[in-house]
Amino acid sequence: MARPENYPCRFQKLSRADKTESESMGRFITAAAIDKWIEIVPSLLWVAFGIVLFCLFYKQIRNDILPKLTGFKVMGAEFSFVKNSIDAAVEFGAKWHVAVSEKDKAAALQRAKRNIDVFKNARILWIDDLPKNNRHECQMFRQLQASVENVTNSQRAFELLEIDAYDLVISDIARDDEGDAGIKFLNTFREQDKETPLIFYIGNYVPKDGVPKQAFGITDRPDELLHLVVDVLERKK
């Protein structure tokens, strides 16, 4: 059999063809990579631009913009928790035959939403010997970003009022064995502080009895309590 002397030449041709194909593939990959970078670079520039702006305006973003975004969050998804709290308060109050229509409840919630800023950092002192009866209302105000301090008697309330400032006081009237403990507290409180508003929140309120002298308001309904608190805080801001 003759020796295949022309095989090496054929192999050399194949090698040159492979080399040409490899170079073409390399140029294709390089072009594709460049196209990809052209697509990515504008996005990277925008990211870099955003980082520069954030660094330049960090204090303003932290002190002004972020608090507003928090407010929008409360007004959005988290505001449903406020609605749940007032729903629970209305349901709990039914045992004292306290009724609140859906229309009245919605009106109170809408007003709170419109005035969400007045609740931020507001301080409420709540006096009631049975604080668990007001747990839903307290939760509602806390969800609105107000601070609520619960005490069970007048003495402790006066102690706290001596050392801290509050935007308003919410109180019951009948407490322990005293049917007018809240009224007595208010009379003494007004001798010391004539400015801080006090709202009475009680189990059963008869409108014809009117509002006790020197009290800001009185109610047995959670929606009306929300309105009264907004009234107070609007005057404070």
Q: Is the same domain home to 92 and 137?
A: yes
**Amino acid identity, residue 169?**
V
**Amino acid identity, residue 35?**
D
For 113, the token pair is 């939403």
Q: What angle do CA 92, 94, 98 make, to 5 degrees?
A: 115
How is residue 207 annotated by DSSP? Answer: G
Q: Is the same domain home to 165 and 217?
A: yes
Q: Is the same domain home to 134 and 51?
A: no
Domain count, the chain: 2
Q: Is the same domain home to 89 and 192?
A: yes
> What's the pTM value of the predicted model, to 2 decimals?
0.68
In a domain, 61, yes or no: no
Domain residues for the domain of 225 are 71-236
> 């932290």: which residue's tokens?
62
Q: Is the same domain home to 80 and 113?
A: yes
Q: Is the same domain home to 26 and 140?
A: no
> 């409180």: which residue's tokens?
189
Q: Taking the C-alpha atoms of 225, 229, 231 and 236 in order, what is their torsion angle to the nearest 10 degrees? A: 170
38-52 confidence digits (pLDDT tens): 677 677 677 777 787
Q: Is the same domain home to 103 and 213?
A: yes
* Cα separation, 44 vs 58, whole angstroms: 20
125 three-class SS: strand
Q: Is the same domain home to 28 and 98?
A: no
78-135 confidence digits (pLDDT tens): 678 888 899 999 899 888 888 899 999 999 999 998 999 999 999 999 999 999 999 9
